[in-house]
Every structure is written in C-alpha cells, then in structure tokens.
C-alpha cells in the first residue's frame, strides 16, 4: 500500500526499430534538478494486463505501436509492495503522433543505438531503475 491506495503494477518498454535503435524519452524533472532519460511506460489501469499497459503507454508516450512483443520479466517495485514492474521488448514498430497528457507535454522522443543507451544508464542519466534493467535484458 502507498498512502491509502493499493500500489498498481507498471510496465516499461524497450522499443527497437529495424536498425536496432531504441526509443528513449527525456524530460526535465524539477524535483530532481535535471533532465533524465526514461523508457516509455507507466502504471497499469484497472482491467489491463501488463502487456496491454505496455502497449498503451508506448502508444501514448512515444506514438509507437508494435507488431512483436517479448516479455523481459518482472520484479517487485519495493520489498513492502506486491506491485510489480513488467519489462517488455517491442519490435516491428509503426510510428505515429504522441498522445501526451498535460503532465507529459515536455516528453521528448529520440532514437539511440543500444550501446549508447546502456552507456547513458551507466552514467546515471536514468532516474529510475526499470529503464536500465530493461535495456540490459533486451540487449542479452
């Protein structure tokens, strides 16, 4: 439980195009004082499976739909929570417009070689652990 609401599972997506480039998002996080990279993803809505959440978040945040999906596993958000983060790789991509909410308007999409994305993770350019872990698992 977080506050008075049960914690919800989340999904995170490594979207790779035919050239092997990875879709990364970036935004400024004032509370943390810098711009950080992250993968498309977010909390599951009521009635969604982990993959449905991943598909929705990828479409909304990055404007991408995918024809091929692979689970990369999942892990607990914290030891005190039953909520999990589900990691996915998406391929056979089709790009369209982002469908950003008002709080996501500064999300910028860019395409990175996998090695550069992993290097950025090693340099601390990701704020949350799901992105670097998903990148490493997708690169195996």
Q: Is 25 exposed, middle or buried (0-12, 13-18, 19+ CB in 10 A)?
A: buried
Q: pLDDT tens, 55-112?
A: 999 999 999 999 999 999 999 988 998 999 999 999 999 999 999 999 899 999 999 9
Radius of gyration of the chain (CA): 14
Residue 2: what pLDDT?
A: 41
Cα distance from N-terminal residue to C-terminal residue, the chain: 34
Q: What is the CATH number of the domain that holds 90?
A: 3.90.79.10
Asked if the structure places residue 5 within a domain, the reply is no
Residue 48: what pLDDT?
A: 96
Asked if the structure places residue 90 within a domain, the reply is yes
Q: How many CB atoms lie under 10 A from the CB of residue 23?
A: 24
Domain extent at residue 133: 10-139
The pLDDT of residue 1 is above 50: no
**Mean pLDDT of all residues belonging to the chain:** 94
Q: How many CB atoms lie under 10 A from the CB of residue 26?
A: 17
Asked if the structure places residue 3 within a domain, the reply is no
pTM of the model: 0.92
Residue 98: what pLDDT?
A: 95
């Amino acid at each position: 439980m977080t506050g008075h609401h049960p914690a919800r599972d989340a999904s995170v997506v490594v979207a790779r195009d035919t050239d092997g480039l990875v879709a990364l998002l970036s935004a400024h996080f004032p509370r943390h004082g810098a711009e950080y990279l992250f993968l498309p993803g977010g909390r599951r809505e009521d009635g969604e499976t982990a993959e449905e959440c991943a598909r929705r978040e990828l479409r909304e945040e990055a404007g991408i739909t995918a024809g091929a999906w692979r689970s990369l596993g999942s892990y607990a958000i914290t030891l005190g929570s039953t909520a999990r983060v589900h990691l996915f790789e998406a391929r056979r991509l089709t790009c369209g417009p982002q469908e950003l909410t008002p709080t996501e308007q500064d999300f910028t999409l860019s395409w990175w070689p996998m090695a550069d994305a992993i290097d950025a993770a090693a340099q601390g350019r990701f704020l949350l652990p799901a992105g670097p872990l998903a990148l490493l698992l997708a690169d195996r």
